[in-house]
Structure 1
Amino acid sequence: MTFTTEDYTNISKRLEEVRAEIGHFIVGQKEAVEFSIYCVLADGHALLEGLPGLGKTMLIRTISEVLDLSFSRIQFTPDLMPSDITGTSMIERLENGKQQFTFQKGPIFSQMVLADEINRATPKTQSALLEAMGEKTVTVLGETKQMDKPFFVLATQNPIEMEGTYPLPEAQMDRFLCKILVSYPSKEELMEITKRTTGGESIQLNKIMNATEIVHAQQMVKEVLIADDMLEYAVDLVAATHPEAAVIPEITQYVQYGSGPRGLQSLIKLAKARALVAGRYHVSIADIKSVAKPVLRHRLLLNYEGEAEGKTADELIDVVMQTIKQGQNV
C-alpha cells in the first residue's frame, strides 16, 4: 500500500488530537503519553515504571478510552494464577443432559490490556503473558486462539527495590517495546492535579480514533522509510551496548550483557512511529536518539560492579550515544 504526503500530514493531525484529548485528563507526564502512543502505533507493548500513585493506571485507561478500544485490567498479585489471565475451560450442561467443555475467555482477550503491578505476581504467572505478547495468540488445552486487532499490553510496575515484588524474566522484559519511567510531578503539576481532582467539575473524554484507524496507522508506520546510513547508525548503537565488543570502556566495565536483535527492531519501529507522529515519512537521526533510552534501558543488564557503583542503564546509554557517531562502523 502506498501513502501520500497528505496521508502522513492528516494522520499526524489526528494523532495530535489524541494527545490533546489525553492532556485534558492527564496532567504532565508528557514522555509517558508520547511513548505510549508510539508503542500503539508500532504495534508493540510498553512497560511503565514508577512509584505508586503517579497516575500510571489512569494514563492507560485514558488512552484506551480516547482510542475507543476494548479494555481490561489484570491486577497482578502473588496468588494470581495463569488461568486467571488466559481463561479456562468450564463444563457446561446442555439441554439434552450431556456435558461439554466451553472456553471462558480471560481478561487477556481485550484490545488494550492493563497488566497492573505486573512485578507483584510470581514469574510463572508473569510468563502467561509471553505467548500473547509475542505471537498475539493464546493456547489453552491445545487450542490456539487469536487475539483481536489491535492488541496491546501496557504493564505497570513498581521499582524493584520495593518489598513484595518479583523481577520480570528476561524473556518477558525483551517483549516490551520500551520501558517508560514515570516521574514525580512538578509543583505546578501537583497544584493542577489537586484542583482537578478535588473540585466539582468532571471531565468527559471524547473518542478520537478507533481500532480500524489505528490498524491503518500501524500500516503507515511500516511504510515510513529509513535510509541505509540511519539504519547503520542504529545497528552501531545496539552493537556498542555489548561488553564483548570492547568499543566503549564503560560498557565493558559495567555491563553484563547488552541489547539483542529485538532491541534493534524496537529501536527502528519506535523511530518510525515518532516520524509518523511528526508527519514525516522518513526516519531522522533525531528520531533514533530520542527513542534510544526507552528502548534500550531494560535490555542492558548491569554486572556486579555496575550495580555496586550505582550506575544506571540511562547513564550508559548516554555514553554510547556520545561515543557513536553517524557513519562510524563498530
Structure 2
Amino acid sequence: MVASLVPVVEMLWEPGDARAALSGRFGFRSGEAAGRWVAELLDQHWGVRVDSCERIVMSGGNALAWVGTPGGRMLAKWSVAPARFARLAEVARVTSWLRGQDVPVSAPVPARDGRLQVEVDGVSVGLQHEMAGDLLDIANPVLVRAAGAMVARLQAVLAVCPYAEKLGKITAVRKGLGERVVGWLDGDAGHLPVQARDMLRARAAAAPPDRLAGQLVHFDFRSANVLCAGDEVAAVLDFEEARHDHPLVELARAAVLLGTRYHDWGPVSAEVRAEFFAGYESVCPLTADDAAWLDILVRWQALMMVPRGDDPTGWGASALG
C-alpha cells in the first residue's frame, strides 16, 4: 500500500458512513482505490503527476480530492450525476472567463486537449489550483464589507459575460419577484405563523413595480465559498449554483446565508447584514425601489430558512423577530 495515495475520506455536510458513500455512489472499494484513480486520471488527461492524495470529501453526487503535485496542491472535483454535466461544462467556461477579467476565482485548469471539464467513463471531472486564504469571518466587519463589495463587483462583471446565455437557458427564472414570493407563500410556508405570512404578502402587494432585470449570478455566496486574506476577499469559490436570477435576490440570499459553512447553519445578525449591504452599496448604490424590494426579499429568504419542527440554530427567532 502506498501511503501517499491513501486519503482521509469524509462527508462534507451529510451524516453517514463516508466509506459506504465512496463505494455506493462512486464505485470505489477503498480510499486508496479512489486516490489511485484520481492520480491516473490527472496524469492521462492533464499530464499532472500526483504525489499524494490527501483528502476526499463527498456531498451528493460530487466528490472533491486534494492532491499534491510538483506544481503545488490542486483540487480535482468530479460528479457522477449526468444531468449536471452540461451545467458543469458551462460553469467551467464562465469561471475561466472571470479569471481573465481579474476576478479572484478558482478557475479550471485546461486538460491536454483544451477541455475545461472532462467527461470520461460516466464521470465529469475538473481540476483547479488550491487557492490560499481563510473562510470569511463574519465577526470581522471589514471583511463583511469587503464581501458585500465583491458581490456587487462580481454581478457587474457577470452581467456582461459572453457565456451567460447558454447557462441561462439551463437555469433561467422567468417569474417576477412578486409572483415568486406569493407562490412560495401559497405553496411552502404553511408551517409559519399566519402573522408572518400575512406581513410578507402585504409587503409584496405594496411593492414598487417589478422591473428588475435578471442576469447571471453566483447564487451561493456565503462564508463556505469566500476566502479572505488580510482585509480583502482572496477568492470566490464554487460557481456550481450559478444561474440567471435578479441580482437583488442573490444579494438578499447572500445576506441571510452569509455566515453558513458546512454544518449547523444559522442566521447572522442585523448588524452583519447592514455591514454587508454597506459594502455592496459602496460599489453599486441602491435606488429607492431597489431598497424596498431588498427589504421584502431579505424577509422572504429568511423565512425560507425557518425549518419545520426543531430549530436549534435560531432561524425562526431571526426571521420572525
TM-score, normalised on structure 2? 0.25
TM-score (norm 1): 0.24
